[in-house]
Chains A and B, each alone.
Chain A
Amino acid sequence: MSFCPPAHLFIFTGMEAIALATILQYLVYGLQLGSVYALLALGYTMVYGIVGMINTAHGDFLMIGALGTYFIAKLFDSMSIDGTYPMLAVGCIILIATVMTGGIAVGVEAIAYRPLRNKPRMIALITAVGVSMFLTNFPRALPFIGPNPRPFPTLFTPKTFNVLGASITSTQIIMIVLAAVTMLALDRLVAKTKIGAQMRAVSMDKDAASLMGINIDKVISITFFIGGALAAVSGICYASVYPQVEVYMGSWLGNMSFVSAVLGGIGDIRGAMLGGFILGIAQIFATAINSTFGYAVGFIILIVILLVKPAGIMGKVTIEKV
């Protein structure tokens, strides 16, 4: 089982030339990828924690957000100067796209997931597979969207900074900061606000919460809205750095963020953030060692961590009372 390259070639393994600048550069890429995973994993984890279902269609919310931004930006085309948009327009575009995706998420929940709330998880999972298939194929079948990849509009003018030999663009900084700020905001929301308390109550025991007078439907709808909005933001960040949007972009990212959510302990917001960044950084560094390996390393880390700590890094092992 060996793959032998011809004698006059060699495969660059990356073990040579380990300079600080290169490591820093890889770290930047890792944080960039990690923040996308983290934002998406937050949505996954919230939905899981509060509703108890794995929403495999979550990656497609990201796609809807990114694709939506592309089309909404077209509406603002008249305001654009040289391909970039004034800050106000950028704010509007992001806001509209986020709200739209959140709305679609709420709609999906109401139609496809609400009736299945009391059924076993696998049924909801299969329905989520169906929803994912629908969300990917419906835009593809529409003639004005189609399967073509499109260039994402430049929302943030990229300025490159040079830090200790590694280059980092303003877009990347915005992404990483945005992910961190969002996590803090979400954490605050869940811990300190009334709606957060309601969410926590529902995640602990749905029936008891409803007995206490909490409107379960409303809480779950809000959860999905936030999840969808986060996915849209994640999509915008992702598309800003890898500016190609197409209907299939969500599935791979969805899988990866699911892995990060579980890695960090599914149901835990901080865990999702942690898992996302760990996975992103690990993938980048693994690719540096060997490109094909980089693809599988995420899963390998996951299995190792789950064997050592079955509930994920920050997960709490629930003791099942008989």
Chain B
Amino acid sequence: MKTTNAKTMHPLLRKFGPLLGCIVFYVVIMLLRKADIINGYYMQVMLFAGVNVLMTASLNLVNGFTGQFCIGHAGFMSLGAYGAAVITTMVFKSNSIPEAAQIPVFLLGLLCGGIVAAIVGALIGIPSLKLKGDYLAIVTLAFGEIVRALLRLIQPIGGARGMIGIPNYANFFWIMLFVVLTLWLLRNLIYSSYGRAFIAIRDNEIAADAMGINTTKYKIMSFCIAAFIAGVAGGLYAHVLSFIQPDSFGFVKSADYLVYLYAGGSGSLTGSVVGAVLLTILPEVLRFLATWRLVLYAIILIAVMLYRSEGLIGGKEVPFLRIKRSSLYEQPLFGRKKNGLSEE
């Protein structure tokens, strides 16, 4: 593992490099779009990939960094999606508000979606205190299904038939903005004292407790933050697809995000980005296989898990997503056989 030669980089470049890189990337993509080299199809896949990155990163916070076992993450997404959609379509009827008001309404919708999801996330965090490991997994799975069942019952938002006509506000700019913002925030969170608390809880909860970390508070906090991000991602998803229904946020979707997370490598933000992007693109790329497409997808997944269990990135971070002196964090999470004892 080579250390970054951060000292040898120009200080301004080091500080603003990643941001500049993002802006350049955005500009390049938009130019390609105008020239129609990137057509609507590629754009749409990229939009979905962006939403998936947000979801995977937030799941990473709970599963990867705090060591919890949440497998119902799509439930938060659905709450956010419906929350945002209700604001934009029902509270402010999107077709009848002036152009200038559209963006604030959209942002308001996302915010509300995120808050609803965060509140529920706090509620989920509470039983997680008593439950460990697999039991927490069950509760989160059950939560996802209960949210789905409840959303089906509520007729004014379309019930089981779903909500149509959501305005198409989320374009590449917004998705890119939220992705960059979220990754930046998460990076800062992880390398702060909060993040250290999360990682301490992941590594050995009892020891963390003994050291005086309020595990209750931090566990609930991690659920809340992750739920908020997932809610915002859900709102963006609703405004990309213009149509949402409760059934699309079931266990299958949660399983998708788990796959993106662990295939990319949990405990690393780079891993969640790579995992989400690659695995969103993969089914599209495999279209030439027709009926055998999902079979090959499954085989690739099993192969990656068998031969590279720590994920494609393996817990390492790209330089601008980590801080120089935190090489302590840079140990791959799995395969750490120090004394011959296997990991939990």
Chain A residues proximal to chain B, CB less than 8 Å: 1-3, 48, 54, 112, 115-116, 118-123, 125-127, 129-131, 133-134, 137-138, 140-141, 255, 258-259, 262, 266, 292, 295-296, 299-300, 302-303, 306-307, 310-312, 320, 322
Contact = CB atoms under 8 A, between A and B. Distances in A.
B90 to A, nearest CB: 13
Contacts of A312: 135
Contacts of A121: 133-134
A126 B64 CA distance: 14
B23 interface: no
13 contacts: A1-B156, A122-B69, A123-B334, A127-B305, A130-B298, A130-B302, A133-B297, A299-B143, A299-B145, A300-B146, A303-B139, A310-B135, A311-B135
B326 interface: no
Nearest to B302: A130
Contact of B135 (A123, A129, A306, A322): A306
A287 to B, nearest CB: 12
Contacts of A140: 291
Contact of A292 (B153, B207, B294, B305): B153
A57 to B, nearest CB: 10
B154 A1 contact: yes
B251 A54 contact: no
Given A121-B133, A320-B206, 19 more contacts: A112-B302, A116-B309, A119-B335, A120-B343, A121-B134, A123-B305, A126-B262, A126-B263, A126-B301, A126-B305, A133-B294, A133-B297, A137-B298, A141-B292, A141-B294, A259-B141, A302-B142, A303-B146, A306-B127
A112 B149 CA distance: 33
Contacts of B207: 322
Contacts of B156: 1
B298 A131 contact: yes
Interface string B196-209: 00000000001100
B120 to A, nearest CB: 13
A291 B343 CA distance: 45
A49 B154 CA distance: 40
Contacts of B132: 310
B115 interface: no
A172 B150 CA distance: 32
B278 to A, nearest CB: 15
A307 B63 CA distance: 21
Nearest to B127: A307
Contacts, number: 127
Given A123-B309, A126-B263, A320-B206, A134 B302 contact: yes
- Lowest 9 A-B CB distances belong to which pairs? A296-B149, A299-B142, A134-B298, A130-B301, A133-B298, A130-B302, A137-B294, A118-B342, A141-B291
Contacts of B138: 258-259, 262, 302, 306
Given A120-B343, A292-B153, A322-B206, A310 B295 contact: no
A54 B153 contact: no
A92 to B, nearest CB: 31
Interface residues of B, number: 52
A122 B262 contact: yes
B66 interface: no
A126 B142 contact: no
Contacts of B344: 120
Interface string B102-138: 0000000000000000000000000100111111011
A133 B301 contact: yes
B288 to A, nearest CB: 14
Contacts of A3: 153, 155, 159
B20 interface: no
Contacts of A258: 138
B152 interface: yes
A59 to B, nearest CB: 12
Contacts of A306: 127, 131, 135, 138-139
Interface of B: 63, 69, 127, 130-135, 137-139, 141-143, 145-146, 149-150, 152-156, 159, 206-207, 251, 255, 258-259, 262-263, 266, 291-292, 294-295, 297-299, 301-302, 305-306, 309, 333-335, 342-344
Nearest to A56: B255
Contacts of B334: 119-120, 123
Given A119-B343, A122-B69, A126-B262, A134 B299 contact: yes
Contacts of B134: 48, 54, 121, 262, 266
A300 B149 CA distance: 11
Nearest to B209: A322
B52 to A, nearest CB: 16
Contacts of B131: 306, 310
A303 B305 contact: no
A32 to B, nearest CB: 23
A172 B263 CA distance: 44
B139 A126 contact: no
Nearest to B64: A122
Contacts of A120: 333-334, 343-344
Residue of A54, A129, A262, A320 with most partner-chain B CB within 10 A: A129
Nearest to B344: A120
Contacts of B155: 1-3
B134 to A, nearest CB: 6
B166 to A, nearest CB: 20
A303 B127 contact: yes
A60 to B, nearest CB: 11
A130 B259 CA distance: 9
B295 to A, nearest CB: 5
Contacts of A54: 134, 137
A1 B86 CA distance: 13
Nearest to B148: A296
A119 B302 contact: no
Nearest to B132: A310
B69 to A, nearest CB: 7
Given A255-B251, A262-B134, A300-B146, A126 B259 contact: yes
A1 to B, nearest CB: 5
